[in-house]
């Protein structure tokens, strides 16, 4: 068939929205068109996918008119997470893998020119959104991610996460029936199912007992931690506010699984999550000269080059 559909997800703020990667092959002047409000790094996937398929020993349909649509069209897409879905869509549309077997799976991963899969940010947010969309009424879709991202996604309970190292590891699982019988047995070293197990270590915090003096401030933190109250610390730079705030987290009770997942998902969206920080309450240390707008994360994100050109034209006028 000349039309294939692959599922993935795009990051929008703190959410991981579902995205359908539609690939159509048609006769005509050879071209590779990518539409669907894609940012620059997404459009560059055309060259990465072309080289990855060719260097993996697969056939790239260079004599076809290739159209890739990332739906919904009004949702901004960025990063290289769509490299793997686009490559699988092209292979499915050209008949090299079974398009029907791709149903019930979601893919994300950046491709190198040789076909190796590289980690992407927001893997934990993708797995958490996938689990929430299922609503507990049915089994969530299975997720395929590169090494480094798959371990994050497997932290979600009942998640069905598979780790793949190379494009060929994924292709070997979705070959047509006749090709699958003729193909050699794939090496399972590049493909693995990760069981949803959380880290067993306990988070470590700085000890409040290390602070010398500051008896009134330490007493206030103990009362706030016991009663679940907010704390506002005011004082000149160097008076110990950040030092006390970093140790305040050690007074609080351990995070629940849902709280740890939400906190880790936010860190994963920014690419700052590590397994060693699982269940650890985050502490931010903004500079004392930061404005109120900077503290709440104000600003406008320009998703496309057209938005940037409009802003520059406005400044000129």
pLDDT one-digit tens code per residue, 72-89: 999 999 889 999 999 999
Residue range 123-138: average pLDDT?
A: 80
- 3-194: CATH, from 3.40.50.300, 3.90.1150.10, 1.10.3720.10, 3.30.230.10: 3.30.230.10
Report the mean per-residue pLDDT for the chain.
Answer: 85
For residue 317, what pLDDT is reported? Answer: 43
Is the pLDDT at 315 greater than 50? The verdict is no
Q: Which of 53-67, 153-167, 197-211 bottoms out in mean pLDDT, i.e. has the lowest?
A: 197-211
Compare 51 and 132 and report the one with higher pLDDT.
51
**pTM higher than 0.85:** no
Is the pLDDT at 172 greater than 70? The verdict is yes
CATH 3.30.230.10 maps onto the chain at 3-194
- Residue 290 — pLDDT band, cuts 50, 70, 90? confident
- Residue 316 — pLDDT band, cuts 50, 70, 90? very low
Is the pLDDT at 29 greater than 60? The verdict is yes
For residue 272, what pLDDT is reported? Answer: 81
Compare 309 and 247 and report the one with higher pLDDT.
247
- Residue 7 — pLDDT band, cuts 50, 70, 90? very high
Question: HEC string of the chain?
Answer: CCEEEEEEEEEECCEEEEEEEEEEEECCCCEEEEECCECHHHHCHHHHHHHHHHHCCCCCCCCCEEEEEEECCCCCECCCCCHHHHHHHHHHHCCCCCHHHHCCEEECCEECCCCEEECCCCHHHHHHHHHHHHCCCCCCCEEEECCCHHHHHCCCCCCCEEEECEHHHHHCCCCCHHHHHHCCCCCHHHEEEECCCCCCCCCCCCCHHHCCCCHHHHHHHHHHHHHCCCCCCCCCCCCCHHHHHHHHHHHCCCCCHHHHHHHHHHHHHCCCCCHHHCCCCCCCCCCCCCCHHHHCCCCCCCCCHHHHHHHHHHHHC
Q: Which of 68-72, 248-252, 254-258 bottoms out in mean pLDDT, i.e. has the lowest?
A: 254-258
């Amino acid at each position: 068939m000349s039309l294939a559909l692959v599922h993935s997800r795009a990051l929008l703020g703190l959410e991981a929205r579902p995205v359908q990667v539609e690939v159509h092959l048609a006769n005509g002047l050879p071209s590779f068109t990518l539409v669907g409000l894609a940012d620059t790094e997404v459009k560059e996937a055309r060259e990465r996918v072309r080289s990855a398929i060719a260097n993996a020993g697969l056939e790239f349909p260079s004599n076809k008119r290739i159209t890739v649509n990332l739906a919904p069209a009004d949702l901004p897409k960025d990063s290289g997470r769509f490299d793997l879905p686009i490559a699988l869509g092209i292979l499915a549309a050209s008949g090299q893998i079974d398009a029907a077997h791709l149903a019930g799976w979601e893919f994300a991963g950046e491709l190198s020119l040789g076909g190796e899969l590289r980690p992407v940010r927001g893997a934990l947010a993708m797995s958490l959104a996938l689990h929430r969309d299922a609503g507990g009424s049915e089994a969530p879709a299975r997720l395929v991610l590169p090494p480094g991202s798959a371990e994050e996604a497997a932290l979600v309970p009942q998640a069905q996460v598979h780790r793949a190292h190379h494009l060929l590891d994924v292709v070997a699982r979705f070959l047509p029936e006749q090709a699958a019988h003729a193909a050699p047995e794939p090496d399972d070293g590049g493909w693995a199912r990760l069981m949803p197990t959380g880290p067993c270590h306990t988070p470590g915090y700085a000890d409040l007992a290390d602070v010398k003096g500051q008896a009134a401030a330490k007493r206030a933190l103990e009362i706030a931690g016991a009663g679940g109250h907010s704390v506002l610390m005011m004082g000149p730079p160097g008076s110990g506010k950040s030092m006390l705030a970093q140790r305040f987290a050690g007074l609080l009770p351990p995070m629940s699984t849902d709280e740890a997942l939400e906190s880790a998902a936010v860190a994963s969206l920014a690419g700052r999550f590590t397994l060693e920080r699982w269940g650890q309450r985050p502490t931010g240390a903004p500079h004392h000269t930061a404005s109120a707008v900077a503290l709440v994360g104000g600003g406008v994100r320009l998703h496309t080059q057209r938005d940037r050109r409009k802003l520059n034209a406005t400044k000129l006028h």
